Homo-oligomer: A and B are copies of this chain.
Amino acid sequence: MEQKTVTLLIKCPDREGIIATLTGFFYKEGFNIISLQQYTNVREKKFFMRICLTTKQQITIGLEEKFDKLSKSFDIEWKIDYGDKKQKVAIMVSHTNHNLYDLLSKYKEGILPCEVVMVVSNHEKLRPVAEMFGIPYYYAPVNKETRNQQEAELKDLFDKNEIDLIVMARYMQILTSDFISHYPYRIINIHHSFLPAFQGANPYMRAYERGVKLIGATAHYATQDLDEGPIIEQDVERVTHESTVSTLKSIGADIETMVLSRAVKFHLNNQIIVDGNKTIVFPET
């Protein structure tokens, strides 16, 4: 008990002996491997690993240095989380509140292992929701002319607060490439359709018009290509010819909340490795 749990995410070209070498390294360094999840993309000869380690002593000192040496000879990209501080999260919203209620209540309950530092919006509308939960609310109105200025202010705000993860919980503005590239794979967006169907605006209206029999939602990392970033999680629900656009929105709201909160949890738990435009999502351990 009172052990530290260290999580490593590893990505490298596949080669013989990689698992034995890695596990041997940590064993010799005095760690106990409490879980190891591995995926080899045989087609593309790539190797991915998530490894959770514990250690009784304070022997993590120098670990990075030693591992860095190993990692160079195997061409490994890696990311380490010492589990000693919670990620700081900013939630961005516009008008709709179902994702915000869900994220904040799950945060309050300890289901999302993070610190929600602020809610930011281009409207005043959801201030009461943030305040109900005691979370600071920043009003950051924006239009075409002021976009660069607003984003500059948001960057300042986020950087000053050391924000690790930005969650776009139905923030209905398109962020600039410049802003997005400042937070690589650190912005999660919820799109209210089953991507790649109905990219872009008004997906529920378009789903209604196309007469689909299931609707969905998709959580993905925001990249410079709108709605085309790596997909983290998706889900769908059955609808019928009787479903109006308003019914679709109401059914969709429940899918959006589930999908977004799962994706945020996967990210906070270090379950995700991004590979090109795809994600490896290891199961919770």
User: Which residue on B lies nearest to A241, using beta carbons?
Assistant: B280
A283 at the interface (CB under 8 A from B): yes
A211 within 8 A of B: yes
Q: How far is the CA of A132 from the CA of B241 in the complex (A)?
A: 38
Which chain A residues (8-57) contact chain B, with CB distance < 8 Å? Answer: 16-21, 23-24, 26-28, 32-40, 42-43
Q: With an 8 A cutoff between CB atoms, is A247 at the interface?
A: yes
Assess the B19–A242 pair: CB atoms within 8 A: no
Tell yes or no: A277 within 8 A of B by CB. yes
Asked if A197 is at the interface (CB within 8 A of a chain B CB), the reply is: yes
- Nearest B-chain residue to A196, judged by Cβ: B197
Min CB gap A89→B, angstroms? 18
Residues of B within 8 A of A24 (CB): 20, 23-24
**Residues in chain B near residue A76, CB distance under 8 A:** none
Does any Cβ of B come within 8 Å of A67's Cβ? no
What is the oligomeric copy number?
4
Give the contacts of A138-166 with B (CB-CB under 8 A): none
Residues in chain B near residue A38, CB distance under 8 A:
35-37
Q: How large is the interface on A (under 10, 10 to 19, 20 to 34, 35 or more residues)?
A: 35 or more
Q: Known: A211-B278, A231-B210, A241-B280. Contact between A36 and B34, CB under 8 A?
A: no
**Interface residue A6 (Cβ < 8 Å from any Cβ of B):** no
A82 proximal to B (CB < 8 A): no
Say yes or no: A241-B279 contact (C-beta < 8 A), given A214-B236, A236-B214, A236-B236.
Answer: yes
* 8 extra interface residue pairs, beta carbon distance < 8 Å, beyond A36-B38, A242-B285: A19-B27, A23-B23, A34-B42, A210-B231, A211-B231, A213-B234, A241-B279, A242-B284
Please provide the 5 A-B residue pairs with the shortest distance between their CB atoms, ordered closest to farther. Answer: A211-B278, A20-B27, A197-B197, A101-B105, A20-B23
